[in-house]
A and B are shown apart, each in its own frame.
Chain A
Amino acid sequence: MTTPAPQTPVERDAEVLDLLLQLVAGTLRSPGEALRDDLASGALHRAFDAVAEALDLDAPTLETPTWTTLEAAYVDLFITSASGIAAPPYVGYAIDGELMGPSAQLLGAAFGDYGIELQDAWSDLPDHVAAVAEGGTLLVRSDQPEAAWTLTEGYLAPWFDRFATAIETKDVSGFYGPVTKFLQAAIKEVTREARS
């Protein structure tokens, strides 16, 4: 008879990490129907509350801008802005300072190792912060929490550390600023806990 191995911190926190990564993927991709539904139903706020409670953080106070304001804010922050975007939404850029640089290529290769590949309908770079977070949730759900943890610490955390404040400063929606600052803090906390 064998005794089951005790859960590692990574395994213990996998559920929180999964939810956290869903929030990253859900809020930092281009705003679409899913986000609109989640906002309208209150699901998004409940998810933030759940993560905040699990990590002993204050939940973000999210304003509820009009949909038009939210869409325009996303473009202004991440895509194209007359005054300059706040944050290219690519994790490799935050690390290397270039697009499709070494980190982005390493990330692509690693996703390939785990059998994760981009779908044809995705029309952005593979290391878009939302895509990477989505990949993390797939890793968690396929019993690879260790990989999801290193993905989060190695790739997502630098992006938030680099750009969260710039996003908060430039955001006029009252949504993306608080969201990214919270996600930054949550990622810091969840990776700290896992490391301990």
Chain B
Amino acid sequence: MKLDRRDFIKLSCATVGALAVGSTAKAQLFPGGFPNPFRPPPGKWFTGEVTTSYSYCEMCFWKCGMKVSVEGGKVRKVDGYLENPKSRGMLCPRGQAAPATTYDPDRLKRPLIRVEGSQRGEGRYREASWDEAFDYITEKMFAIRDEYGTESVAFMGHGTGDEWFASYLPGAWGSPNAAKPSVSLCTAPRETASVYTFGRGIAGHEQIDWDETDYIVLIGHHIGEDTHNTQLQQFAQALTRGAKLVVVDPRFSVAAAKAKDWLPIKPATDTALLLAWINVLIEEGIYDAEYVEKYTLGFEQLAEHAAQYTPEWAEAITEIPADTIRRIAREMAAHAPRAVLPVGRHVVWYGHDDSHRMRALYFVNILLGNYGMPGGYYLCDAPIVEKFPAPELPLAPAAGGCGGGPVEIGDSPFRPSVDRGKFFGTATSVQEFIEPMITGEPYPVKGLFAYGVNIFHSIPMVERTKEALRHLDLYVAIDILPMEHVMWADVILPECTFLERHDDLNLVAHKTPFIQARFPAVEPMYDSKPAWWIARELGIKLGLGEYFPWENIEEYLDRRLSSIGSSLEAMAEQGTIVRRGRPYIADWERLNRNPFDTPSGQLEFYSERFAEAGLDPLPVFIDPMEGPAGYYRLLYGRSPVHTFARTHNNAVLMEMDSENSVWLNTREAERLGVSHREYVYLENQDGVVEGPVRANVTERIRQDCVYITHGYGHKAPLMKLANGRGASDTHLQTRYDLDPYSGGAGLRNNWVRIVPGAPDPQHKSIAQLVRERSQA
């Protein structure tokens, strides 16, 4: 009989054979019948040696610095540390729960190739070596290149590794069709508006001078629900210090509960309110005239333009009394420049209106004289660390980023991205890839990489996306967990979790700019690999090795750090290097430097660039899209313990918040006969149904809208904790409106009706599901 001697375990004869060892081992090898020596003694969570290493968190993209403690080859605990300006010694629940993702039994484990002849979405795969997977991918990419051009392979990425898959590799390969959902499905309007107002991007870490401000106006900004650790700490400290808070929101949010004024604005009318505040500040002469005179351009045009936007005009649109509008404006002015309207992060709300709203918000701040002043917006730039010496990429990355403005592509031998001409900005829009995959216009997109993007839970019009995937010649998914879309891929590449890998340096634009590093705390589990490795190996296979001249990540990082007189070894000892910032205009003026990189060198109320492009040079209010009768505008937001749709299979976090609910005004619920906590369905204007989802009958929301938290409603049985809980806002977003300035997709243009009488899905508790894991 031939049974091959497996060779993955080897025997060291030197230590084998003593009966005493066998006798001892027998006792140890009986986990069911003998005391387990590895059970921790009471009061102590470890028995072996504990080692620690530095990292920065990837559970959301705030990226707090953390220390990782390992014992027995397993990550046991993570903590913030005081020296890191983001964590400041603390982590949020998501950070604390990071080990539960590393040890999630549902993780992707090894490269898989879809079985030949099976359909995308059918889910039939075979294992492959990394080499075999790369060979498969490169063969397809070369075929696409030869028939359609390099531009016909598109790339999407989200997370630290997206620099490799949405910027570097596409730049080396030659595709401008590279994008991040964190741009056009999140921040695009604020970045475009910021660049063309301040001459600076907002940057990932919103630069609000919380420690110095006395008066805060949050407009659709859900602090306490979108838990950005540092921001939350500083916000709480500001309120403790006595700062006053006004919240403008159709919903009585967590932040609203802390506010002195809650202004329940009619959805989609925020721009009207901001224009009215501009009107009051100017008409009443309570803006910071000296600041405006010194630092701005176009005030006269703005004053003339804003004269029409009276509080009475705004009251009719926003349903906020004119007197309240005036009172808040006067209070802001009284506290200026230590009064601030913080910029939010997810700002793609209504599309056509979004950049106008962001510009108007910035204008109010400028009129308060707070940009670059204590208590307002501080100025920040990322620390400079040189790139690893490598040839210039053939194509400048076009994906933009959460924290950066769009990149001007300039002259290029490559065709422009498929969305060019649809909007003013130059960062590629992720949702605009989809239609060309189906229609082939303006040219075919036949290949797609999705790195860390759950495309069925981020890009609107999910059925269109599925249809697009069916048209591709190549679909590659790189991820940690088997999200729904992953099982549609031709090739699945498993990435290791951030606790198992190095990553590129994180250069943070902050009041005190800093550099933080990530070190692997443990070896990657299974056959998973880090993004940098996957990108480099694939790049080499594609003949792009010259752009990846480093041998390994340690060499890459050490070389970069040497440019600032540091080293990888030194970073391993300190984790974070903090620089001195220049947060205020005065810091720049002392150096005779101008922080405003606009064409005029001034803060620009009036944009010649927009005017030249045929766009409104000043913000205007545009009537919002209206929904059908009997439907509610669908609003969405965040759970404080979840990130997008990424963390819903994490046992620790799901234990805290395991399903979403739909907020429905009490009077509407009475009219519909819906009771609190009853399960209902949501049906949108196009007949798409989601749920069952619990009704949260509450006075905390207006009657013309409903609200759910994003990221629930997974349809992935393999993700055992996430599957089937709650409703997906993305699946209900079957239409969007494109912002003509930034290319952002306004997602709040969808309406739903409540369908009572859904069955109780009888979900098991998360604790029960976890307990079942251990029931032999």
Given the complex of chains A and B, what is the CA–CA distance between A46 and B2 in angstroms? 10
Asked if A29 CB lies within 8 Å of chain B CBs, one says yes
Using known A-B contacts A95-B31, A114-B16, A142-B16, determine if residue A106 contacts B38 with beta carbons closer than 8 Å.
yes
- What is the interface size of chain B, counting residues whose CB is below 8 A from a CB of the partner? 68
A155–B72 touching, CB < 8 Å:
no
Whether B38 contacts A105 by the Cβ 8 Å rule is yes
Q: Are B15 and A115 in contact (CB under 8 A)?
A: yes
Residue of A nearest to B104 (CB): A99
CA distance A180 to B103 in the complex (A): 26
User: Bound state CA distance, A135 and B1, in angstroms?
Assistant: 20
Task: Please tell me if the beta carbons of A100 and B103 are within 8 angstroms of each other in the complex.
Answer: yes
A23 interface residue (CB < 8 Å to B): yes
Contacts of A143 in B (CB 8 A): 17
Shortest CB distance B565–A (Å):
36
B37 close to A43 (CB less than 8 A): no
Specify which chain B residues have a CB less than 8 angstroms from the CB of A71 in the assembled complex: 115, 126-127
Contact at A84–B8, with CB atoms within 8 Å?
no
Closest chain B residue to A120, Cβ basis: B8
Kindly identify which residue among A72, A94, A115, A151 contacts B115, using a CB–CB cutoff of 8 Å. Answer: A72
Interface-side segment among A33-41, A52-60, A181-189: A33-41
Binds A, one of B106-114, B267-275, B546-554: B106-114
Taking a contact as CB atoms under 8 Å apart, the answer to whether B36 and A102 are in contact is yes
Chain A residue with minimal CB distance to B114?
Answer: A72
Rounded to whole angstroms, the CA-CA distance of A143 and B11 in the bound complex is 12
CB atoms of B36 and A114 under 8 A apart: no
**A32–B283 alpha-carbon span in the complex (Å):** 79
Are A151 and B29 neighbours in the complex by a CB distance under 8 Å? yes
Which segment of B20-28, B393-401, B443-451 sits at the interface? B20-28
Give the chain A neighbours of B16 by CB distance below 8 A.
114-115, 142, 144
Q: How far is the CA of A74 from the CA of B125 in the complex (A)?
A: 9
Q: Is the CB of B73 within 8 A of A100?
A: yes
Q: Please, which residues of chain A bring their CB within 8 A of the CB of B771?
A: 97
Complex CA–CA separation, A16 to B72 (angstroms): 35
- Asked whether A80 lies within 8 Å of B125 as measured between CB atoms, the reply is yes
Contacts of B72 in A (CB 8 A): 105
Q: A68-B116, A113-B25 are in contact. Are A118 and B8 (CB under 8 A)?
A: yes
Q: Which residues of B contact A158 (CB under 8 A)?
A: 32, 776
Contact B9 A116 (CB under 8 A): yes
Chain A, residues 148-174, CB within 8 Å of chain B (1/0): the string is 001101110010011000000000000
- Is A37 within 8 A of B2, CB to CB? yes
Q: Is the CB of A99 within 8 A of B108?
A: no
State how many angstroms separate the Cβ of A115 from the closest Cβ of chain B.
Answer: 4
B629 at the interface (CB under 8 A from A): no
Which residues of chain A have C-beta atoms less than 8 A from B482's C-beta?
80, 82
- Among A50, A103, A147, the residue within 8 A (CB) of B1 is A50
Q: How far is the CB of A80 from chain B (nearest CB, A)?
A: 5
Question: Closest CB of chain A to B123's CB: distance in Å?
Answer: 3
A81 to chain B, nearest CB (A): 6
Are A119 and B8 in contact, with the CB atoms below 8 A?
yes
Q: Mark A89-111, 1 if CB is under 8 A from B, else 0.
A: 00001111111101101111111
Contact of B3 among A43, A131, A135, A153 (CB under 8 A): A43
Whether B718 sits at the interface, judged by CB under 8 Å, is: yes
CB of A6 to closest CB in B, whole Å: 16
Whether A122 touches B8, Cβ cut-off 8 Å, given contacts A72-B125, A144-B16, is yes
CB B447 to nearest CB in A, in angstroms, measures 22
Check if A102 sits within 8 Å of B38, measured CB to CB.
yes
Known: A75-B126, A83-B123, A119-B10. A93 touches B105 (CB 8 A): yes
A124 touches B527 (CB 8 A): yes
Chain B residues, Cβ within 8 Å of A47: 1, 3
Per-residue 0/1 for B114-130: is the Cβ within 8 Å of any A Cβ (1 yes, 0 no)? 01101001111111000
CA distance A97 to B103 in the complex (A): 11
**How far is A123 from B39 in the complex, measured between Cα atoms in Å?**
27
Q: Does B592 contact A (CB under 8 A)?
A: no
Q: Does B687 contact A (CB under 8 A)?
A: no
In the bound complex, residues from chain B placing their C-beta under 8 Å from that of A119 are 7-10
B12:A115 contact, CB within 8 angstroms:
yes
Cα distance A73–B126 when bound, in Å?
8
CA distance A142 to B455 in the complex (A): 53
A82 close to B717 (CB less than 8 A): yes
Chain B residue at smallest Cβ distance from A44: B3
Asked if B775 and A97 make an inter-chain contact with CB atoms under 8 angstroms apart, the answer reads: yes
| In the complex, B14 has a CB within 8 A of chain A | yes
Question: Complex: how many Å from CA A93 to CA B109?
Answer: 15
Q: Does B240 reach chain A (CB closer than 8 Å)?
A: no
B4 touching A82 by the CB < 8 A rule?
Answer: no
Decide if B525 is an interface residue (CB 8 Å cutoff). yes
* CB atoms of A43 and B1 under 8 A apart: yes
With a cutoff of 8 Å between Cβ atoms, the chain B residues found around residue A117 in the complex are 9-10, 12
Asked whether A135 lies within 8 Å of B9 as measured between CB atoms, the reply is yes
Are the C-beta atoms of A41 and B2 separated by less than 8 Å? yes
| Contact, CB under 8 Å: A138 / B9 | yes
Give the complex CA separation of A116 and B103 in angstroms: 24
Answer yes or no: B13 CB below 8 A from chain A CBs.
yes
Q: Select from chain A the residue with minimum beta-carbon distance to B525.
A: A125
Residue B90 at the A interface, CB < 8 A?
A: no
Contact assessment for B770 and A80 in the assembled complex, using a CB-CB cutoff below 8 Å: no
* Cβ 8 A contact of B718, one of A83, A105, A142, A144: A83
A68 to B72, CA, bound (A): 39
> What chain A residues lie within 8 Å of B28 (beta carbons)?
106, 109-110, 113
Instruction: Decide if A94 touches B109 in the complex (CB within 8 Å).
Output: no
Closest 6 CB pairs of A and B: A97-B774, A82-B123, A97-B773, A115-B15, A34-B4, A115-B12
Q: Can you list 9 pairs linking A and B with CB atoms under 8 Å apart?
A: A43-B1, A43-B2, A50-B1, A72-B115, A80-B108, A82-B717, A100-B74, A113-B28, A134-B8
- Residues of chain A at the chain B interface (Cβ within 8 Å): 19, 22-23, 25-26, 29-30, 34, 37-38, 41, 43-44, 46-47, 50, 68, 71-72, 74-76, 79-85, 88, 93-100, 102-103, 105-111, 113-119, 121-125, 130-131, 134-135, 138, 142-144, 146-147, 150-151, 153-155, 158, 161-162
List residues of chain B with CB under 8 Å of any chain A CB. Answer: 1-4, 6-17, 21-26, 28-33, 36-39, 72-74, 103, 105, 108-110, 112, 115-116, 118, 121-127, 482, 487, 492, 525-527, 716-718, 720, 770-776
Extra contacts, 16 of them, besides A93-B105, A105-B38 (Cβ < 8 A), are A26-B3, A72-B125, A80-B109, A81-B123, A82-B716, A82-B717, A95-B31, A97-B773, A102-B36, A114-B15, A114-B16, A115-B16, A121-B7, A153-B30, A158-B32, A161-B776
